[in-house]
Amino acid sequence: MLRRTLLLGLCRGPLGRGLGTHRGGSILDRDGKMSEIKKKIQSILPGGDWNPLYDTSYLPPESSDVVIVGGGVLGLSVAYWLKKLEKPRGAIRVLVVERDHTYSRASTVLSVGGIRQQFSVPENVQLSLFSIDFLRNINEYLAVADDPPLDIQFNPSGYLLLASEKGAAIMENNVKVQRQEGAKVCLMSPEQLRNKFPWINTEGVALASYGMEHEGWFDPWCLLQGLRRKVQSMGVLFCRGEVTRFVSSSNLMKTASGEEVNVKRIHEVHVKIDQSLEYQPVECAIVINAAGAWSGQVAELAGIGKGPPGTLQGTKLPVELRKRYVYLWHCPQGPGLETPFVIDPSGTYFRREGLGHNYLGGCSPTEEEEPDPGNLEVDHDFFQDRVWPPLAQRVPAFETLKVRSAWAGYYDYNTFDQNGVVGPHPLVINMYFATGFSGHGLQQAPAVGRAVAEMVLEGHFQTINLSSFLFSRFYSGEKVQEHNII
Amino acid sequence: MAAPKASLHLVAPVWNGGTRGIGGLSRVVAPEGNQKKGRSLLQFLADCFYDVEALRDHLLRKQVSKVHQKNRFQGREWIRPNQRGHFSLDFLKLQAVPVEAVDASGCAINYQGLDSLLALKELQSLWLQRCPHVDDWCLSRLHPLASSLQELSLAGCPRVSERGLACLHHLWNLRRLDISDLPAVSSPGLTRILVEEMLPSCEVLGADWAQGLKLGPEEQPRDTAGPTPA
């Protein structure tokens, strides 16, 4: 009613949309005055966030149904699927808390961007298959009216995994599992490998598995921005701040077997604003831990792991920061356009980058040589000592190459079994995890987001059953070990 | 009809203050289309009413599904044998004839539509000129035709880029490849050279090697009567 009176009073005819209006605002206020007045009135009315003394628009709302800690690809994917699968439209208020809006240390954007189905755990293959489907139809999923379509620059060149004599049997088993789930992988002998890729030195290679379809690499930044744009248009709220505290209450309850457990429920999340001591307590019903490499710290804030070791209360979330280096080099005689994402038995990997004979690659260090994750400085000696020799041995053309640049990023490394943690915590019952993917989080993000959203909204997994990825496996000791980790 | 947005705002205020703080990313992404004049009535209504916005999304999705529909044979699935293994009578005459060439130029064939083509094990020649929905994903699907396919034409496909061309190396029997006039390929001359290196026994038609090269100050543009650059 108020709006109609304002409209009648200030009718100016249909003109271009005013700047500064929020999405879907009236086009009748060319200079934004109308929407300012409207916003002021709405914030004064009950339910608004107006503080008459000073501007509080940078603070998160005082309450939110779901708070997602971490605004990387996993956090945004969970936000997207929560909004997409919620039953009445606009039923759930979702808040994404991200402390670094430039994503300067986020694993998502520092990633090499590969996606493959060549895993040994069937759930991982299913997650990747759905994610590649999502990426192929990204413009149907993430379409926003009036915005240009996304181009994630997908290179469908496939992954080529090489195995030595020892690993050949494991590779054959893996390929069998992958084919059962629907991945298109073919096995190649060294002879076939030489025919197809003459630049490979097949010494020491007994078997190779090559992904024919649905594998390759893409631009993770574009996916992140696409998700961000879409979730903003769906009404997800963003806040630039850091979660410093959880306020929870606990109840002593008896399990079915008569054992007494301390069940916790998080009631408030304290979000500290960047470069300030100010914080806002946000009342919430559900907290999603998608903080990537820092998920372990966020879990500790919620009291996960504080208890006698060996009990469920004392089981920490085993996700740690691990630093990984990526090097970009130029080799004019190197392999051509057909180069897939090659993974050597030694753990060294590389892929083509662009058309100019540039290549990206690296290697996972062993446990003893793990670099200090305190900063993101690059160790160039690591390339000389650990990456270059196996590369040059596998691809003789790489004996002459020149490193153009390098960067470092974090893995949200799950020290238990290097696979993701998904689903609620058994004791802190309203904290859900979507983290710990140890280097393959980006490629499984769309599917994991959907799984977590199903868990939150329905209470169980509906499409892909990820019960083996629940937190309780850390207590019961059932490892979901993956044999193919870069 | 549709409830006006204003009343929805009063019930559940949409809090937009935070988007301003995060670098106004929504502004950065929003194109000039927002401010262009002559917006249609539907767009105007979509701004005012949530229901019309949903209707507009639905119409956009219908357009996409129309392409999916076109990839079914005459509104039905492709003619396949039924449970007892019998084809319908019309195809009895043509059953044993292998399909050697398919001309799908200008067709609205897309990723799902290629299902039907990939079953043709003796296909030698495939023409996909000017197909608006053939993109890199479709090219990655062509590998089952590797043993028979000898000629492939992708001229004028607006969505094919050099990333999709990279997966044509599966087609080791390919003898003629036409990649002319691909607007999404960033450097056509370089791409052609790389594709030729990738498929040594294939004749690649298409971009001129010099296309996309910038002429230096000492090189003048040649006359048409002059010799063409090697």
CA distance from start to end of chain B: 68
Is it the case that residue B79 has pLDDT exceeding 70? no
Residue A421 contacts residue A319 (beta carbons within 8 Å): yes
Is it the case that residue A227 has pLDDT exceeding 90? yes
Is it the case that residue A441 has pLDDT exceeding 90? yes
> For position B2, what pLDDT does the model report?
41
b/e code A409-446 from CB counts within 10 Å (16+ = b): bbbbbbebbbbbbbbbbbbbebbbbbbbbbbbbbbbbb
Chain B CB within 8 Å of residue A154 CB: yes
Scanning the structure block, which residue is given the tokens 């290697």? A363
Question: Which residues of chain B lie closer than 8 angstroms to A273, CB-CB?
Answer: none
Chain A CB within 8 Å of residue B108 CB: no
Q: How far is residue B134's CA from residue B108's CA, in Å, rounded to a whole number?
A: 8
pLDDT digit string, tens, across residues A165-178:
888 999 999 999 99
Residues 210-249 of A with CB under 8 A from B: 212-214, 216, 225, 228-229, 232-233, 235, 237-240
Mean pLDDT score, A89-114: 94
Q: Cα dihedral angle (A198, B163, A222, A16), rounded to 10 degrees?
A: 170
Is it the case that residue B141 has pLDDT exceeding 90? yes
pLDDT digit string, tens, across residues A414-434:
999 999 999 999 999 999 999
Do the chains contact at A146 and B10, CB–CB below 8 Å?
Answer: no
Question: Which residues of chain B lie closer than 8 angstroms to A114, CB-CB?
Answer: none
Is it the case that residue A241 has pLDDT exceeding 60? yes
H-run or E-run covering A359: strand A358-363
Interface A-B, measured as beta-carbon pairs within 8 A, has a size of 148
Q: How far is residue B88's CA from residue B94's CA, in Å, rounded to a whole number?
A: 11
Chain B CB within 8 Å of residue A22 CB: yes
> For position A280, what pLDDT does the model report?
93
pTM (2 decimals)? 0.81
3-state secondary structure of A399: helix
Q: Which has the higher per-residue pLDDT, A36 or A264? A: A264
> For position A90, what pLDDT does the model report?
86
pLDDT digit string, tens, across residues B119-131:
888 899 999 999 9
Nearest CA distance, B87 vs chain A (angstrom): 28
Q: At A268, list the tokens.
A: 């408030």
Amino acid at A350: F
Chain B CB within 8 Å of residue A278 CB: no
Chain A CB within 8 Å of residue B41 CB: no
Which of A17, A93, A136 lies at the smallest CB-CB distance from B35?
Answer: A17
Chain A CB within 8 Å of residue B62 CB: no
Scanning the structure block, which residue is given the tokens 């996309």? B212
Do the chains contact at A228 and B25, CB–CB below 8 Å?
Answer: yes
* Mean pLDDT of chain B, nearest integer: 72
- Tell me what ipTM this predicted complex has: 0.82
Percent of chain A clearing pLDDT 70 (strictly above): 92
Question: Which residues of chain B lie closer than 8 angstroms to A238, CB-CB?
Answer: 18-19, 21-22
Residues written for chain A: 486
> For position A255, what pLDDT does the model report?
85
Bridge partners (DSSP) of residue A165 are none
Nearest CA distance, A312 vs chain B (angstrom): 38
Question: Which residues of chain B lie closer than 8 angstroms to A213, CB-CB?
Answer: 140-141, 143
Is it the case that residue B225 has pLDDT exceeding 80? no
Q: Where are the beta strands (DSSP E) in chain B?
A: 101-103, 125-127, 151-153, 176-178, 203-205
CA distances from A144 to A76, A79, B29 (A): 15, 16, 11
Percent of chain B clearing pLDDT 70 (strictly above): 61
> For position A11, what pLDDT does the model report?
44
Do the chains contact at B163 and A338, CB–CB below 8 Å?
Answer: no
| Mutation target among B32, B55, B110, B167 for the A interface, most CBs of A within 10 A | B167
> For position B215, what pLDDT does the model report?
59
Q: In what order do the strands lie in the sheet with A159-163?
A: A185-188, A207-211, A159-163, A341-343, A348-353, A358-363, A319-330, A402-414
Q: Please list the alpha-helical segments (H only) found in A335-440.
A: 380-382, 388-394
Assign B1 a pLDDT band (cuts: 50, 70, 90).
very low
Nearest CA distance, A265 vs chain B (angstrom): 26
Nearest CA distance, B211 vs chain A (angstrom): 15
Q: How far is residue A186's CA from residue A208's CA, in Å, rounded to a whole number?
A: 8
